[in-house]
């Protein structure tokens, strides 16, 4: 590796170094706070270097990786999300967990982020798959980390089986594509796909189809969404937030890069499959969420729907479609981090505040927290004054720009359905029955957690009122 | 700048009221009162000192500031005669709703006023926006706080009512948003300029079918708000369950945003498609008039009854808008203002009664005149207003609308006139059941206090002023009305359809000058006096 390669990968190297450092520190002394601070500082250092690199020329490392603005932007988003998650994790671990094995959690957290951040700069099947597995294997462990709880073990196993299966699909798809083309890098595939015809074409589409199944699993798109609610419910809230932001964000970035670089947009069948998946996800996610009585399951179903929304932009192709998808995943990450943060903060020592009933009358007991939660939910619902509205506007504009009227219509209808359960949650928080208070939150809500949530809230309102700078930034990515 | 200031003022006061509510219950009320009073003063100042150019369609004041330049979105606010009247109504009714909730709302006072002021800010935004994105933005901003007003401070069945309200308006609003985006993209493809600017989007060239579909998106959003049959079913629930201030704002202002949207956006943006749609819209209007009146007559819940009166009166507005002539359109503007006042007043009376005897069932009232004569007199005045008694604002409005629409469609107008007869029946029934007749129960009930009497007197004065000197309002709205009519007429001439051409000629003949209009009304008024 040349010096230039090393320099361009510096954020990732810092992250990897941080993982090793934490490992050594844990071996020397088991101190939760120390592990947390090391993690936080590592991530902040990685973000800073990422920001410094943002305006440099794209740097290509073999066929394997490309460090460009697009990749760096996603890395910064993923790292920032991890930073927020590490704060919530600290709160969650301190309060919920018996006094052992707190520290290794952070290593897994950073490993997952490393996998995801490498994925966004991958331009080759090998680098893609290796980073994806780094991410997934860390997630298996993180999901069942609270092994004293039954649901955590169940969720971890479920995720293990299904993710392994989806990896198999993904690999088989890659193998098919490799078999006909002899290429594994995205550049090479572009050259092959433009020249191929006949039977090779069929194999290529079949391979792409199998890869869609694999990616669909990772993004929890209908009809591959079955694992999401159980895993979200079983894992602790910060881990659920990690799945919703870091894991999905990385896969979305890779999907965008894969399709733009190989220009698979030309294949009508592949795009048709995505349209069906998108419409199904929007409808299934929102309709199934209506039935939920658990906030984390509800957020899981809503995330299925949100990824469906995002596909509307993705289908619209290069240019505005990619920008809209990038913008939306940024906004969505901010919002869902906030929502899971609220769940984390409000949880009591013995169990997490999953049931909707726990939120009854929250508005009158904890007005600030409830107002923030309302804000996050409204942003998820896409109501003006919040960033979610601008995001949804961007998606619709991208979709309609390519004439996707049907999908846009489905998006509109399903988001009206979606409103219903967000509103129900808000109404529950506002209900005034005094006798029903099963879960009065602990007397002292974590100060740090509240400050983090407040910053997220301010960002969401700020981006809802003046989103110009972020839009310009997203548009300046290639 | 001052226009953006109006919205910021309301929002700022809203935040302040919420914060103040943590320490003191009285402070939020005072803050809201002061905030809205300042707004009213500013609006009156604009009214008195600024005049609109002679029918040229220039805006009185406008303000433009770039917001999201990447998408051609800007903060473009402007006021002309029509929007000036609407924001004056907003400030006036806003002030009264703060006053009516002075004693009624006693829990979470701070948050209540926060929501109240944000609804008003959203409504002001709707009336001032000249950028379609900003318009939709404000349109949505007024929903959430209204939803909270109903679902927190509402009556027994508030959750159901608030859901229904929200889903109806939000669903239809999103359809409008699709249409706005469609228009934006078509304009962008045609000219290469992607913008939501109203002035630039005017006269966008597109296929007639496309135009019709896009128009439908707008129209559905607006007629749901206007609670036209068959989209009216959210309104009785929302009105009945909302607290008094909520009902006043719903009936007085939120419904008007639908009418305003039709006049300001649908007609100028889609003139040709509007002509195609006109017969349907007029029929819907007439159906609303009669069906609303019939249902109003059948109600036993006082607030529900008044809500159906609104449905009926909004039917007149729809009929008048799609008559496409100056007289009907002026009537519509008048109806928007007068209905806001008279129905607002009826809701305040119903709310006050409910607060005192804990029931809205008119079967349990009766014979209240002897106990609460002041309320009885006020009830009589506003009931007479809703049945269209000459001398009060509603009469002028309905007269103008019916005269105008008679030139557009005689049959429909004749049927619509039956609505006035029905109005007499349901309106008098209120008086009979509530204030006259035998006493059903021995209510211990207090009459209007000084504060409430003040509110009522303000309403009566305005209603009389509208009825006796309608030209004060009509001159203000005339330039805007003429501009809207012209924009429709231009297209009409282009289409070359004989039916429309014939009507265009008729329209031009009956276009009245301001002076003749004023004389006309003086005549009517003197006749009445004789």
Q: What is the pLDDT of residues A395-404, one digit of tens each?
A: 999 999 888 8
Residue keyed to tokens 């006796």:
B468
Q: What is the pLDDT of residues A220-259, one digit of tens each?
A: 998 899 899 999 998 889 999 999 999 999 999 999 999 9
Q: Which of A364, A427, A475 sits opposite B70 (nearest CB)?
A: A475
Residue keyed to tokens 């930034």:
A473
Interface residues from chain B to A (CB-CB < 8 Å)? 67-71, 108, 133, 136-138, 140-141, 143-144, 147-148, 151-152, 159, 162-163, 166-167, 170-171, 174-175, 177-178, 181-182, 184-185
Give residue B52's pLDDT.
60
> What is the pLDDT of chain B when averaged over all its residues?
86
What residues contact residue B330 under an 8 Å CB cut-off, 6+ apart? B400, B404, B474, B477, B478, B481, B517
d(CA B108, nearest CA chain A) in Å: 9
Over range B162-189, report the average pLDDT.
90
Q: Quick check: B519 pLDDT over 50?
A: no
Q: Quick check: B502 pLDDT over 60?
A: no
Burial of A355 (0-12, 13-18, 19+ CB in 10 A): middle
**Chain B residue numbers touching A290 (CB-CB < 8 A):** none
Q: Per-residue confidence at B262, pLDDT binned at 50, 70, 90? A: very high
| Contact across the interface for A423 and B69, Cβ inside 8 Å | no
CB burial of A276-301 (b: ≥16 within 10 Å; e: otherwise) equals ebbbbbbbbbbebbeebebbbbbbbb
Residue keyed to tokens 């105008």:
B404
Q: Which of A364, A408, A471 sits opposite B68 (nearest CB)?
A: A471
| Contact across the interface for A416 and B68, Cβ inside 8 Å | no
**Chain B residue numbers touching A360 (CB-CB < 8 A):** none
Higher pLDDT, B164 or B516: B164
Half-sphere exposure of residue A322, counting CA atoms within 13 Å on the CB side?
Answer: 23
Of B76, B138, B51, residue with least CA distance to B480: B51
Question: Which backbone phi and psi does B481 adopt, to 5 degrees?
Answer: -60, -45
Choosing among A323, A396, A404, A427, which should be mutated to test the B contact, i.e. which has the most B CBs within 10 A? A427
Of B10, B463, B491, B468, residue with least CA distance to B203: B491
d(CA A28, nearest CA chain B) in Å: 50
In chain A, which residue's Cα lies nearest the Cα of B137? A384
| Contact across the interface for B167 and A475, Cβ inside 8 Å | no
Question: Which backbone phi and psi does A177 adopt, to 5 degrees?
Answer: -65, -40
| Contact across the interface for B185 and A401, Cβ inside 8 Å | yes
Q: How far is CA B191 from the centre of its chain?
A: 35
Pair of tokens at residue A225: 């969404």
* Alpha carbon distance A463, A470 (integer Å): 8
d(CA A247, nearest CA chain B) in Å: 30
| Contact across the interface for A415 and B174, Cβ inside 8 Å | yes
d(CA B67, nearest CA chain A) in Å: 7
Count of other CB atoms within 10 angstroms of residue B407: 18
d(CA B143, nearest CA chain A) in Å: 9
**Chain A residue numbers touching B109 (CB-CB < 8 A):** none
* Alpha carbon distance A358, A363 (integer Å): 12
pTM flag (> 0.90): no
Q: How far is CA B428 from each of CA A116, B344, B351, rounded to the nearest angstrom?
A: 72, 18, 19
Give residue B482's pLDDT.
86
Q: What is the pLDDT of residues A146-158, one digit of tens each?
A: 887 778 889 999 9
d(CA B530, nearest CA chain A) in Å: 55
Q: What is the pLDDT of residues A275-321, one digit of tens each?
A: 999 999 999 999 999 988 899 999 999 999 999 999 999 998 888 89
d(CA B167, nearest CA chain A) in Å: 7
**Chain B residue numbers touching A427 (CB-CB < 8 A):** 151, 159, 162
* Percent of chain B residues past pLDDT 90, beyond the cut: 49
In chain A, which residue's Cα lies nearest the Cα of B22? A367
d(CA A362, nearest CA chain B) in Å: 13
Give residue B511's pLDDT.
47
**What would you report as the CA-atom Rg of chain A, rounded to the nearest whole angstrom?**
21
- Residue B358 zone, left/alpha/beta (φ > 0; ψ -120 to 50; rest): left
In chain B, which residue's Cα lies nearest the Cα of A475? B70
Q: Which of B67, B141, B171 sits opposite A384 (nearest CB)?
A: B141
B209 within 8 A of B288, measured Cβ to Cβ: no
| Contact across the interface for A408 and B178, Cβ inside 8 Å | yes
Count of other CB atoms within 10 angstroms of residue B69: 11
Give residue B493's pLDDT.
55
Give residue B491's pLDDT.
62
Query: Which ipTM score applies to this complex?
Result: 0.86
* Alpha carbon distance A380, A299 (integer Å): 10
Of B48, B53, B45, B50, residue with least CA distance to B479: B53
**Chain A residue numbers touching B137 (CB-CB < 8 A):** 384, 389
B521 within 8 A of B529, measured Cβ to Cβ: no
* Alpha carbon distance B295, B322 (integer Å): 24
A394 within 8 A of A386, measured Cβ to Cβ: no
Give residue B55's pLDDT.
47
Q: Tell me, what DSSP letter sits at residue A360?
A: T
Q: What angle do CA B29, B33, B36 make, to 5 degrees?
A: 135
| Contact across the interface for B184 and A396, Cβ inside 8 Å | no
Helical ranges in B202-323 per DSSP H: 208-225, 234-241, 244-249, 255-261, 267-269, 271-298, 302-321
Interstrand relation of B61-68 and A65-67 (parallel, antiparallel or unpaired): unpaired
Give residue B498's pLDDT.
41
Q: Quick check: B188 pLDDT over 60?
A: yes
Per-position DSSP letters for A292-335, written without gaps between them: --BHHHHHHHHHHHHHHHHHHHHHT-TTHHHHHHHHHHHHHHHH
Please report, to the nearest 10 degrees, the dihedral formed by the alpha carbons of residues B466, B470, B474, B476 taken in order. -60
In chain B, which residue's Cα lies nearest the Cα of A476? B70
Hey, which residues does A294 pair with through a beta bridge? A355
Q: What is the pLDDT of residues A418-431, one digit of tens each?
A: 888 998 898 888 87
Choosing among B67, B71, B157, which should be mutated to test the A contact, i.e. which has the most A CBs within 10 A? B71
Question: Which backbone phi and psi does B215 adopt, to 5 degrees?
Answer: -60, -40
pLDDT, tens digit only, all 478 positions of chain A = 788 888 889 999 999 999 999 999 999 988 889 999 999 999 999 999 999 988 888 889 888 999 999 999 999 999 999 999 999 999 888 877 666 778 889 999 999 999 999 999 999 999 999 999 999 999 999 998 888 777 888 999 999 999 999 999 999 999 999 998 888 999 888 888 777 776 778 888 899 999 999 999 999 998 899 899 999 998 889 999 999 999 999 999 999 999 999 888 888 888 999 999 999 999 999 999 998 889 999 999 999 999 999 999 999 888 889 999 999 999 999 999 999 999 988 887 666 777 888 888 888 888 889 899 999 999 999 888 899 999 999 999 999 988 888 999 999 999 888 888 998 898 888 877 654 455 555 556 788 889 999 999 999 999 998 898 999 999 888 7
Q: Which of B68, B159, B178 sits opposite A427 (nearest CB)?
A: B159
Of B132, B284, B88, residue with least CA distance to A397: B132
- Tell whether the torsion through CA atoms of A350, A351, A352 and A355 is positive or negative: negative
Helical ranges in B154-207 per DSSP H: 158-191, 198-201
Give residue A440's pLDDT.
54
């Amino acid at each position: 590796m040349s010096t230039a390669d090393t320099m361009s990968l510096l954020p990732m190297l810092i992250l990897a170094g941080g993982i090793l450092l934490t490992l050594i520190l844990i071996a020397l002394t088991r101190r939760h706070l120390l592990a947390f601070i090391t993690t936080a500082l590592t991530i902040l250092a990685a973000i800073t270097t990422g920001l410094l690199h943002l305006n440099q020329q794209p740097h290509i490392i073999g066929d394997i990786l490309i460090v460009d603005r697009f990749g760096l932007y996603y890395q910064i988003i993923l790292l920032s999300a991890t930073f927020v998650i590490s704060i919530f994790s600290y709160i969650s671990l301190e309060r919920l967990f018996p006094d052992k094995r707190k520290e290794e959690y952070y290593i897994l957290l950073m490993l997952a982020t490393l996998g995801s951040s490498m994925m966004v700069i991958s331009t080759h099947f090998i680098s893609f798959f290796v980073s994806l597995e780094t991410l997934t294997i860390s997630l298996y462990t993180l999901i069942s980390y609270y092994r004293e709880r039954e649901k955590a073990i169940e969720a971890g196993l479920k995720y293990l089986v299904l993710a392994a299966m989806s990896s198999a699909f993904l690999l088989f798809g890659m193998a098919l594509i490799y078999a006909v083309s002899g290429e594994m890098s995205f550049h090479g595939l572009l050259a092959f796909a433009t020249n191929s015809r006949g039977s090779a074409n069929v194999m290529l589409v079949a391979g792409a189809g199998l890869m869609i199944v694999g990616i669909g699993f990772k993004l929890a798109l209908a009809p591959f969404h079955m694992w999401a609610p159980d895993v979200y419910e079983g894992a602790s809230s910060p881990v659920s937030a990690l799945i919703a932001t870091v894991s999905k964000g990385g896969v979305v970035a890779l999907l965008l890069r894969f399709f733009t670089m190989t220009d698979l947009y030309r294949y009508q069948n592949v795009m048709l499959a995505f349209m069906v998946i998108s419409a199904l996800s929007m409808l299934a996610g929102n309709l199934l969420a209506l039935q939920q009585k658990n906030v984390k399951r509800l957020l899981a179903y809503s995330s299925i729907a949100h990824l469906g929304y995002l596909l509307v932009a993705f289908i619209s192709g290069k240019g505005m479609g990619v920008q809209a998808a990038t913008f939306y995943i940024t906004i969505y990450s901010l919002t869902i981090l906030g929502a899971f943060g609220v769940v984390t903060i409000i949880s009591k020592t013995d169990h997490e505040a999953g049931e909707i009933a726990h939120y009854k009358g929250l508005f009158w007991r904890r007005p600030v927290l409830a107002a923030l939660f309302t804000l996050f939910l409204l942003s998820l619902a896409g109501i003006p004054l919040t960033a979610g509205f601008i995001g949804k506007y961007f998606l619709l504009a991208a979709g309609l720009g390519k004439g996707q009227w049907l999908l846009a219509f489905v998006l509109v209808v399903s988001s009206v359905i979606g409103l219903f359960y967000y509103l129900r949650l808000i109404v529950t928080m506002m209900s005034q029955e005094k006798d029903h208070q099963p879960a009065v939150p602990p007397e002292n809500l974590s100060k740090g957690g509240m400050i983090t949530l407040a910053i997220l809230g301010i960002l969401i309102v700020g981006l809802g009122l003046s989103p110009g700078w972020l839009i310009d930034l997203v548009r300046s990515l290639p | 700048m001052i226009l953006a200031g109006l919205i910021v003022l309301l929002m700022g006061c809203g935040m302040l009221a919420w914060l103040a509510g943590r320490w003191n219950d009285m402070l939020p009320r005072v803050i809201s009162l002061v905030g809205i009073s300042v707004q009213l003063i500013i609006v009156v100042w604009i009214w008195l000192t600024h005049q609109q150019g002679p029918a040229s369609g220039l805006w009185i004041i406008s303000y433009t500031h770039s917001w999201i330049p990447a998408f051609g979105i800007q903060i473009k606010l402007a006021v002309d005669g029509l929007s000036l009247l609407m924001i004056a109504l907003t400030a006036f009714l806003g002030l009264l709703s703060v006053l009516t909730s002075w004693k009624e709302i006693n829990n979470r006072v701070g948050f209540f006023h926060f929501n109240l002021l944000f609804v008003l800010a959203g409504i002001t935004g709707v009336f001032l926006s000249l950028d379609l994105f900003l318009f939709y933005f404000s349109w949505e901003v007024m929903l959430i706080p209204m939803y909270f007003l109903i679902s927190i401070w509402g009556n027994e069945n508030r959750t159901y009512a608030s859901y229904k309200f929200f889903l109806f308006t939000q669903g239809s609003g999103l359809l409008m948003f699709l249409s706005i985006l469609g228009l934006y993209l078509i304009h962008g493809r045609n000219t290469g300029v992607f913008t939501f600017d109203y002035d630039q989007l005017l006269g966008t060239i597109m296929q007639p079918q496309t135009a019709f579909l896009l128009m439908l998106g707008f129209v559905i959003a607006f007629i749901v708000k206007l609670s036209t049959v068959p989209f009216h079913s959210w309104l009785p629930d929302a009105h009945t369950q909302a607290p008094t201030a909520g009902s006043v704002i719903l009936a007085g202002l939120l419904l008007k945003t639908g009418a305003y949207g039709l006049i300001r956006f649908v007609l100028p943006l889609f003139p040709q498609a509007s002509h195609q749609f006109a017969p349907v819209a007029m029929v819907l209007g007439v159906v609303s008039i009669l069906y609303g009146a019939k249902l109003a007559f059948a109600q036993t819940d006082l607030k529900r009854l008044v809500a159906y009166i609104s449905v009926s009166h909004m039917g007149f507005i729809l009929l008048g808008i799609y008559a496409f002539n100056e007289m009907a359109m002026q009537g519509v503007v008048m109806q928007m203002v007068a209905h806001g006042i008279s129905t607002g007043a009826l809701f305040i009376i119903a709310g006050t009664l409910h607060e005192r005897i804990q029931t809205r069932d008119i079967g349990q009232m009766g014979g209240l005149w002897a106990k609460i004569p002041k309320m009885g007199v006020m009830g009589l005045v506003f009931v007479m207003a809703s049945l269209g008694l000459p001398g009060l604002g509603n009469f002028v409005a309905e007269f103008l609308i019916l005269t105008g629409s008679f030139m557009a469609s005689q049959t429909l107008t004749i049927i619509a006139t039956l609505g006035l007869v029905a109005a007499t029946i349901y309106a008098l029934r209120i008086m009979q059941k509530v204030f006259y007749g035998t006493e059903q129960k021995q209510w211990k009930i207090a009459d209007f206090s000084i504060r409430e009497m003040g509110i009522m007197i303000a309403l009566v004065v305005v209603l009389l002023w509208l009825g006796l000197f309608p030209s004060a309002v009509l001159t203000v709205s005339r330039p805007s009305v003429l501009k809207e009519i012209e924009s429709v007429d231009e297209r009409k001439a282009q289409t070359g359809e004989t039916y429309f051409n014939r009507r265009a000629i008729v329209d031009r003949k009956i276009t009245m000058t301001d002076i003749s209009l004023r004389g006309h009304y003086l005549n009517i008024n003197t006749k009445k006096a004789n």
